[in-house]
Chain A
């Protein structure tokens, strides 16, 4: 598992950094003077969806491809459905279908963001990066902050109930189909959810305040932590509004200047390419004309809040303005600001659900539409963790000929590697001995970007790391385990 290198250099291996759909691993090389010379996040699983989706009928794709991810299956379910909309020629959905899909999506964003903040990341923020291992997990939160934990559990439950009411099932549902949805929201479900949504919004605002207070109370430590500058990518609505379900691509540079804007989903190959490195099963996307070195970017809540011009729900918009003021006219680059941005989106999702649950269209109306058949479908959605691209070509028999997926976590690949490098420089540089807190700090940096990488960890109190210092002759000089 761990390899020694030559001439007094050493290699530190963190394995596993667990993620939802597989496992990650960190390796850090240090020279004889304890300088960090290389730090990498390896994604060590590969499943091959692009190939084995070939030959399947396109209408299977919305239920098939969501099995990529059990944390945000709705994102894949909807992205694949939107790509199929293009194939069946459903250029505009019925108001009923669009609203039910949006409700499903906001329910998912709400539950996923709640899970990430409370179950996974709050232990680091509430107890400290180097708090005792026994406490620094969701069980510790349940014991120390039972009221917060209970609300967290009920918020996630609410989001999952919204998904069940719209998709038929909490995980891997079937509600969305090419050209629309397969059922209305029942009156009973609508009434039950509508009765709870105000409480959810209230708790969401409380959660945002908690996140903001914790961040600002330790701003000197948290804002520079694992921080670097980058470009940002997301979709935005045509008028520049934040839109998690639909829109066109916009990219901004580190100063906030537009690199490109309103690029339609079907034209994503004009602006995005992916590099491959032999040490990771995850590819490295970048903005094509800026090249691999300078063209990489970040996606997800921070990118979306930085990129949009405004939010169309009042509480979230007010919070967005307060958040953006931190940047004094430039984008916010702090890694730990992801949490704050994520909570703004959680509040936005609750506001959107409140609107949709009061809308009679979700109870009745046309379910599907159709039009002229096409042989390619491309769709982009903002999954909780970031921009998600599905691209399918079909043949005359309705079978998939080619599939290309660029998922949220992949877009953040270079960014997470940067975070590992920066945290390694901040915490490991010059250190001959490694403490447990240093190890967790590296994970905190990764965790801010990608709930998938940390989910198995704090969610179930399972995470454990093994770090070994190995001498030039291969002997283990120092070893620490945690968990």
Chain B
């Protein structure tokens, strides 16, 4: 029997959830025995050349590329797990939702004290920003949510092991953190 496949994706977040996944430390050696990491890229629709068993995504959606690739993840993952504050609520990047986007761009690219000859980036080669930052479940259906900023390595491990064993991932109270 072939090993279960896992894909992970990173959207608008800090990559701390992926770092927390690495914090499973020695268990990563075990994980590489248990599963096959699908090498599909995170934000290119052609990267998924098969449906994978588990998709794990970090981060919310702040631009049109995020939305497009999150939809690709949904389409190609049997089970989609959102991890961390940004995927669940938009997190710290969603703090910009209280401010008009233009003001954020002007502050960074026109008014900053170190900026010279400012211009707001607008080249076709960079994605278009959304009006606000959206949590993952407002864009696609999410099967499981693991909270935390980031969720601890133990929480991620418990959830992954449960899914691999075909159980519902139910996390103990001490593994649930909402910071």
Contact = CB atoms under 8 A, between A and B. Distances in A.
A16 B106 CA distance: 26
A481 B49 CA distance: 11
A50 interface: yes
Nearest to B14: A70
Contacts of A166: none
Given A47-B12, A275-B117, A171 B19 contact: yes
Contacts of B95: 52
A467 to B, nearest CB: 11
Contacts of A461: 37, 39
A21 B117 CA distance: 26
Contacts of B14: 20-21, 67-70, 73
B126 A170 contact: no
A213 B65 CA distance: 42
Interface in A265-282: 268-269, 272-281
B161 interface: no
Interface stretch (A22-30, A254-262, A357-365, A417-425): A22-30
Contacts of A67: 14, 16, 91-92, 149
A115 interface: yes
Given A68-B14, A464-B47, A44 B37 contact: no
Given A16-B43, A42-B125, A275-B116, A21 B22 contact: no
From B13, B15, B21, B127, residue with most partner A Cβ within 10 Å: B15
Contact of A153 (B25, B39, B108, B117): B25
Interface stretch (B26-34, B70-78, B135-143): B26-34
A12 interface: no
Interface stretch (A96-104, A436-444, A452-460): A452-460
B12 A22 contact: yes
Contacts of B147: none
A279 B126 contact: yes
Nearest to A274: B114
B47 to A, nearest CB: 5
A75 interface: no
Nearest to B6: A460
Nearest to B29: A142
A313 interface: no
Given A69-B14, A157-B25, A276 B104 contact: no
B41 A153 contact: no
A42 B123 contact: yes
B122 interface: yes
A278 B121 contact: yes
Contacts of B8: 460, 462
A46 B115 contact: no
B25 A154 contact: yes
A130 B46 CA distance: 22
B99 interface: yes
B166 interface: no
A277 B119 contact: yes
A68 B7 CA distance: 24
A292 B43 CA distance: 33
B47 A70 contact: no
Contact of A171 (B23, B123, B126): B23
Given A67-B92, A172-B150, A481-B46, A281 B121 contact: yes
A280 to B, nearest CB: 6
Interface string B97-125: 01101011111110011111111111111
A23 B65 contact: yes
Contact of A45 (B62, B106, B117, B179): B62
Please provide the 7 A-B residue pairs with the shortest distance between their CB atoms, ordered closest to farther: A70-B16, A48-B104, A464-B41, A279-B123, A20-B15, A51-B107, A70-B14
18 contacts: A16-B43, A18-B43, A23-B42, A27-B125, A48-B101, A51-B103, A52-B96, A64-B92, A69-B14, A70-B13, A139-B32, A154-B25, A157-B26, A171-B20, A273-B116, A280-B126, A404-B114, A462-B39
